[in-house]
Amino acid sequence: MSHVFSQQTSLASVLVRGWMSLAALALGASAAAQTPAVPTLAPMIERISPAVVNIAVKTSISSTVQDELLRRYLEVPPEVEGAGSGVIVDATNGYILTNHHVIANADEIIITLLENRSFPARVVGSDEASDLAVLQIEATSLKSVPLGDSTKVRVGDYVVAIGNPFGFSNTVTSGIVSALGRSGLDNDAFEDFIQTDASINPGNSGGALVNLNGELVGISSAIISRTGGNVGIGFAIPVSMARAVMDQLIATGSVRRGLLGVVIQDITPEVADVLGLSGNSGALVSKVNENSAAEKAGIRIEDVIVTINGTRLRTSGSLKNAIGLLPPGEQVTVGLIRGGREQTVTATLGELAPAAVRAAAPPRVEQPPPAFDSVFEGADLVVNESSAGVPGLLVTRVDPDSAAGTSGLRPGDVITKINRVPVRTLAEAVPVVERAHGVLLEIQRAERSELIVLR
């Protein structure tokens, strides 16, 4: 009996221990299931990193007498080496997108992949105005990064920068999109930068800026820094611009840009007040070039261009980029405000000569509106009633450092309107300027009308 009880007790103990073990396993599994996964970008980075390459360049120094002296006394080497980054955008054809300044004047370009394979590269095409270049290598088993849509990028989106800062290959940093549509770093360039606080340093140039889906949204290009290191203000060229330039470089080796034929300026609050605008968006037309696409389309000075093909423009730089990314001969719909009313015209673009790439407008310097005396009666500017057949005020002297001079007014100009009001005498001009917050001058110069905003 005791023996049977003992066996039964042992069996019960085994069953209890087994049940407890199963319960412990079940509880452990449940606890594991309830533990949140640790956030990580590793899968995306592992997928994208092989498409980001190191670019090493060698540039020879010309053997002029001056260079010989530099090499002799300052130990300047006969070759200069540099490094940057690039992004494989077409694995089949071996196309790599990078910055123009990374490979400019290079005699030799070597591409090194993540797995440490190296290949010589040829320049398919390079465009200084957009700071973009396309390289090509002959290699197999390449991986490319998918192109995203930078027009859908928003301030606050998370982004990741991948490149080779200071020679440290495939360095990954993260941050957010800090701002969009940045320009003004180079007044001779086409700029529409994505600003980010993801760390970008020397060597990152030409590298990838990707979203959390692993799609390329920008090409890292520039930083603002007093020390040469990252301070949280980096800039990337939007992939929408890069794609348009890349397609032309691959097709023809160069970039042809459309030309509307206008001189434009940003809309300041003072100009908006004079023109009766509700906001500061758009580009003010201050001059229409003779026989240009704009003149043929009927665009006039004082028009405010607000859209191109239905896309709203923020600044004059936005107009410059929109037109510059379109080919010559393209028909565009130009939305503008004239006399307080919105209307559209159609223009067939001309072609911008490469040497004619210039800023849409000079940098804006915020100054209080000039007083009447300093505009017309002081030593800065002297005007007289015009007797040259054009009714208005003839400018006879301008101090080049004055508000009038820095705004572009010249001797010989005839001021025909001030803030859209026709003027023939100083007596007519005085009350117009005295009640104005800003001064907008319509002038006659070389038989053509122009608009000048006094700064």
> Which one of 85, 126, 130, 131 is the catalytic residue?
131
pLDDT higher than 50, residue 15: no
Superfamily of domain 257-356, CATH level 4: PDZ domain (2.30.42.10)
Active site residue 205: yes
Known catalytic residue at 131: yes
Examine the pLDDT at 358 and tell me if it is beyond 50. Answer: no
Mean pLDDT over the full length of the chain: 80
> Can 101 be counted among the known catalytic residues?
yes
Could you give the CA distance from residue 112 to residue 110 in angstroms, rounded to a whole number?
Answer: 7
Give the Cβ contact number of residue 95 at 10 Å: 21
What pLDDT shows up at residue 381?
60
Provide the 10 A C-beta neighbour count for residue 149.
Answer: 13
Out of 85, 100, 101, 292, pick the active-site residue: 101
Pull the structure tokens for residue 40: 């990580």
| CATH class of segment(s) 372-453 | mainly beta
| 196 vs 438: which has the higher pLDDT | 196
CATH topology of domain 44-136: Thrombin, subunit H (2.40.10)
Q: How many Cα atoms are found within 13 Å in the side-chain-facing hemisphere of 207?
A: 36
Helix (H) or strand (E) holding 250, with range, is: helix 239-252
DSSP-based three-state secondary structure for 309 = coil
Token reading at 104: 């400019």
Long-range contacts of 418-422 (CB under 8 A, 24+ apart): 418/442, 419/274, 420/274, 420/275, 420/302, 422/391, 422/392
CA dist., res. 215 & res. 296, Å (int): 41
CA dihedral angle for residue 185, residue 186, residue 187, residue 192, rounded to 10 degrees = -60
Closest CA to 217 of 142, 141, 162, 136: 162
**pLDDT band with cut points at 50, 70 and 90 for residue 394:** confident
372-453 and 257-356 share a CATH fold: yes
The pLDDT tens digits for 186-230 are 766 788 899 999 988 888 999 999 999 999 999 999 877 666 667
Q: Domain spans of the chain?
A: 44-136, 150-252, 257-356, 372-453
Q: Reduce the DSSP state of residue 187 to 3 states and report it.
A: coil
Q: Which of 169, 178, 199, 205 is catalytic?
A: 205
Answer whether 196's CB lies under 8 Å from 234's CB: yes
Q: Indicate the burial class of 46 (C-beta count within 10 angstroms; 0-12, 13-18, 19 or more).
A: exposed
Q: Which CATH number fits domain 150-252: 2.150.10.10, 1.10.8.190, 2.60.120.10, 2.40.10.10?
A: 2.40.10.10
